[in-house]
């Protein structure tokens, strides 16, 4: 006969997929699974959690480096925009693009769609007579 804790065994799931990537799980989930005797992947969760706890400084340094790179990129872009503002001689504004697209759409309706609908209606009326 199997013990009662053997019948309630479960897999650790991360975003609906079983054991596909325990590294995506939160530290809290990993700690829960690592200490739960009913979790089938108890040892794997404990290993992943131990690996995370061994290298917190490395992850923090990577996050700081990514944030610094993002800040540098944003400051470069800001400086570029301050040095080279919108030049109306060589660039087309978003407003002009919007207005031109609306004009083209309305001209298409007037010169293509409206005549097509008129011809179809004329053909239907001619067929009914």
Q: Do 66 and 14 belong together in one domain?
A: yes
Low-confidence ranges of the chain (pLDDT < 70): 1-7, 14-20
Residues 23, 60: one domain? yes
Q: The domain containing residue 40 runs over which residues?
A: 4-81
Q: Which residues contact 98 (CB under 8 A, 6 or more apart)?
A: none
In this prediction, residue 119 carries a pLDDT of 97
**pTM of this prediction?**
0.38
Inside any domain, residue 89: no
Residue 28 to residue 14: CA distance in whole angstroms: 12
Strands of the chain (E only): list them.
Answer: 13-14, 17-18
pLDDT at 122: 97
Long-range Cβ contact pairs of 106-111 (< 8 A, separation 24 or more):
none
The DSSP bridge partners found for residue 39 are 10
What is the pLDDT at residue 83? Answer: 86
Q: Are residues 62 and 104 in the same domain?
A: no
């Amino acid at each position: 006969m199997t013990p009662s804790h053997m019948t309630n065994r479960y897999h650790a799931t991360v975003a609906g997929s079983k054991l596909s990537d325990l590294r995506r799980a939160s530290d809290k989930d990993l700690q829960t699974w690592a200490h739960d005797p009913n979790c089938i992947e108890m040892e794997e969760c404990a290993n992943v959690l131990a690996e995370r706890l061994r290298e917190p400084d490395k992850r923090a340094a990577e996050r700081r480096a990514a944030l610094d790179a993002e800040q540098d990129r944003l400051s470069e872009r800001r400086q570029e925009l301050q040095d080279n503002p919108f030049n109306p001689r060589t660039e087309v504004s978003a407003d002009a693009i919007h207005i031109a697209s609306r004009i083209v759409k309305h001209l298409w309706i007037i010169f293509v769609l409206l005549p097509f609908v008129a011809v179809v209606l004329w053909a239907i009326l001619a067929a009914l007579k």
